[in-house]
Chain A
């Protein structure tokens, strides 16, 4: 039987703050010695008290706005109680019924159209410590305990692994663009949980069960999990059964999951308002301020490049894929009005520039700010494209100011028709056979050979169409 996939996603993103959400410990703990970035608050010592990090709240509000959420102007923290060794207080400070953001949405650009994903809520919470299982012993490191964490929950709007991937990529790009998080998956800065079930194709109601899969640390594994779950759940449904409503964990990086030991009945988190933290009230002015500080998101920028500069989707996508690359590009074309120059520079930016970088050629000394200058020379026909490539590569590797090189006559295009005619005459007289082959019609391409030789004679510093015209003239074409 064919089934439709129904998925809701929960994403946790570590905020890019210097300090943790409720204390002044550094949140840049990756690679540090165990328990070297803790304090009474995040270690859960008796008598310690939490104080919220303003900047972390700003980031959460910004993300909520970027995802088109409504903002709860009056919001608070709540205690979520459960026991686990990595939870130092025996409760996590989170948000329950008044999350910072709610009812948002984001449009995904799919292969065959657009799709809207609804965001149920976004809230601020704290991360837990890290446990390392070492045989019969679990080792606990509380450096991660208290790091600011933003939780994003979607409605069960996803119907394919592709949609989930696009959303996840999009979200990752967004948080990086907005400097809300580095979303470095290897450092665990972005984690996924999904709720997934299957229903017969065409059924509108949500399936009566859902399977929760936790702690997925990369987008590729996310896709694999969906694939394996489709198979697993289909098999059960095909057999006339209903998959257990349960929580499953990852077994391996190929997406295989297994049932986790069920916690006694359902977890009773006993939420109640956090008495140690006074309520938060956002003024309209503050929300406007946060909204205005949102930099242009990748989607909007892509569309702008296509509309304003005539870039195609491929060019736009390559440039906007990474925030740093996009910023570099923006800096490069800053102040340039000539749209043709912008477009040509963009091609070089992608072509030569990114190609050289991809080869790993060191480029610290080269600034992409010189690119338009080099490209301009081609447009103005001061030298050939081949010459320009030489200039570029030399400048890329050696660095420095290439404008001197660009100006030097060494590269100048030969424009003097006399010089060209002389060279053409020389080549024609030295290549009788080619001339004869061409003129007799035996080998029409022989003219290309002659043109090529002339170019070589002129050391590549002539416009090929001018050479061609001269050769054709002298051969009486």
Chain B
């Protein structure tokens, strides 16, 4: 390495925070840095910073170095490797990685040793990416601030008094301070988009069924989506190309072809119509957030877009409908946590007592709340009134979007109705936190893809805008995101 290269190397290494997959990939390819070096730098960073941020539950140091070494030797042998080879990344701790502890952020799985690999992890492994750790999250995805985790709250690296969003808050925070160049989060009602917005990064919730859920610990089976979180639209596009596709292990995964998302990023937006739903721009919206979003809208205008006011009239019912179906499914998905085969096990005089004590002691407040109300919503005498009713309202939400997409190409809203809030600010009232999801929860019941794109900062805190397209049009989402980012 000559002096300029060394200089560049040091610059990059001390600036892991800004390093993108795209950049790192080129450096690795040119052998200007090795995977082991990049991994070691990342691990050192985590070592010094994470104690104040708590983005990680588990740091997979050995595995990471093993993977990095393998990539380096393959590259030295002249093998052609994927763009992700040697790139350090993290996984939200809901993804099974055989041999590694996987907790879903819950005490009930605090010592659970994973027995198989999630499909998304298998795909990333195959591409040569280097897993540096499992990130903190609200237990089973139950939360919007990563404050409910059994492993302590995660702090927003941008301002440590503030929440990083949730439930994939650990993933958002990790990327924000440079601990890994991307992460895979999981989104059931905003859990990728919210932390992306609060941490100033890109987070994509793909179409339901676009990415395999096999090995992703379930919250709500008809909502859950596996999705990428990264620093640029281009990086996000690359990740989606790698992880999307039908999987024989997931009967709900789509057989649709996976487009080359990276090849349509720079298409012109001239003449494209952007819809602004009035229900997302009411007085409930924080004026600081509104301002930034409107500036973003102006930017799109300058790119040739036409802005149209639209209405999604059932928006006000979306949180309620989302939660009723979501927690009903969740109560069922959490029935397997009984202490018999794995996880936390309490004492008891017989299996019934063991079950009750295990779940009573290891589920936190939020988990108990959702399982109890979810059980109620499905129970005899109430199922019609709650679960079935909510499923019907879900149909109306679908129709809202179907109608809107006959008028516009893409919908733009703020991701969150508020700026990032302080840790502890909203934990006194469970409903308060539920309502923070107001703009993200209509999406999962409908299944359309949505993305949070960094739109600006206010009071030093990031603000994200949400882009929404019809099913399987992630290419359009990424195109809009990229053009905005690079304008």
Q: Spell out A's residues near B (CB within 8 Å).
A: 39-40, 43-52, 79, 81, 83, 85, 88-91, 138, 140, 142, 268, 270, 272, 275-278
Instruction: Give the residue name and chain of the B residue nearest to A83 (CB).
Output: B355
Contact A52–B251 (Cβ < 8 Å): yes
Contact A275–B221 (Cβ < 8 Å): yes
Contact B341–A268 (Cβ < 8 Å): no
Contact A47–B96 (Cβ < 8 Å): yes
Instruction: Give the residue name and chain of the A residue nearest to B209 (CB).
Output: A278
A190 and B18 CA atoms in complex are apart in Å by 64
* CB < 8 Å A-B pair total: 100
Of the candidates B116, B218, B220, B251, which one forms a contact with A40 in the assembled complex, judged by CB atoms under 8 Å apart? B116
Contact A270–B383 (Cβ < 8 Å): yes
Contact A276–B252 (Cβ < 8 Å): yes
Q: How close is A81's CB to chain B, nearest CB, in angstroms?
A: 6
Instruction: Give the residue name and chain of the B residue nearest to A267 (CB).
Output: B380
A101 and B248 CA atoms in complex are apart in Å by 27
Q: How close is A53's CB to chain B, nearest CB, in angstroms?
A: 11
A277 and B378 CA atoms in complex are apart in Å by 19
Contact B94–A88 (Cβ < 8 Å): no
Residues on A with beta carbons closer than 8 Å to the beta carbon of B328: 272
A267 and B214 CA atoms in complex are apart in Å by 31
Q: Which 8 A-B pairs have the closest CB atoms?
A: A90-B335, A275-B221, A270-B378, A275-B222, A46-B217, A44-B336, A47-B215, A268-B380
Residues on B with beta carbons closer than 8 Å to the beta carbon of A52: 251
A138 and B213 CA atoms in complex are apart in Å by 33
Q: How close is A99's CB to chain B, nearest CB, in angstroms?
A: 19
Interface of A is mostly: loop
A49 and B96 CA atoms in complex are apart in Å by 13
Of the candidates A44, A49, A81, A88, which one forms a contact with B250 in the assembled complex, judged by CB atoms under 8 Å apart? A49
> Given contacts A44-B336, A51-B249, A275-B222, is CB(A138)–CB(B351) below 8 Å?
yes
Contact A79–B332 (Cβ < 8 Å): yes
Contact B336–A276 (Cβ < 8 Å): no
Residues on A with beta carbons closer than 8 Å to the beta carbon of B378: 81, 270, 272
Enumerate B357-395 residues with CB–CB distance to A below 8 Å.
Answer: 375, 378-380, 383, 387
A229 and B214 CA atoms in complex are apart in Å by 49
Of the candidates B96, B102, B112, B338, which one forms a contact with A83 in the assembled complex, judged by CB atoms under 8 Å apart? B338
Of the candidates A45, A81, A278, which one forms a contact with B115 in the assembled complex, judged by CB atoms under 8 Å apart? A45
Contact B251–A46 (Cβ < 8 Å): no
Contact A81–B332 (Cβ < 8 Å): yes
> Given contacts A40-B115, A138-B351, A272-B378, is CB(A83)–CB(B335) below 8 Å?
yes
Apart from A48-B116, A275-B222, list 9 A-B contacts with CB within 8 A: A46-B96, A47-B215, A51-B248, A138-B351, A140-B340, A268-B380, A270-B378, A276-B252, A277-B251
Contact A85–B340 (Cβ < 8 Å): yes
Residues on A with beta carbons closer than 8 Å to the beta carbon of B383: 270, 272
Q: List 6 A-B contacts (CB under 8 A).
A: A46-B104, A49-B249, A51-B251, A270-B379, A272-B383, A275-B222
Q: How close is B226's CB to chain A, nearest CB, in angstroms?
A: 11
Contact A275–B94 (Cβ < 8 Å): no
Q: How close is B77's CB to chain A, nearest CB, in angstroms?
A: 35
Q: How close is B124's CB to chain A, nearest CB, in angstroms?
A: 16
Residues on A with beta carbons closer than 8 Å to the beta carbon of B150: none
A275 and B96 CA atoms in complex are apart in Å by 21
Of the candidates B115, B251, B352, B355, which one forms a contact with A276 in the assembled complex, judged by CB atoms under 8 Å apart? B251
Instruction: Give the residue name and chain of the B residue nearest to A40 (CB).
Output: B116
| Of B102, B214, B216, most A-chain CB atoms within 10 Å | B214
Q: Does B118 contact A (CB under 8 A)?
A: yes
Contact with A along B242-280 (1 / 0, CB 8 A): 000000111110000000000000000000000000000
Q: Does B329 contact A (CB under 8 A)?
A: yes
> Given contacts A90-B335, A90-B338, A270-B379, is CB(A47)–CB(B252) below 8 Å?
no
A23 and B274 CA atoms in complex are apart in Å by 45
Contact A276–B221 (Cβ < 8 Å): yes
> Given contacts A40-B116, A138-B351, is CB(A90)–CB(B336) below 8 Å?
yes
A51 and B247 CA atoms in complex are apart in Å by 11
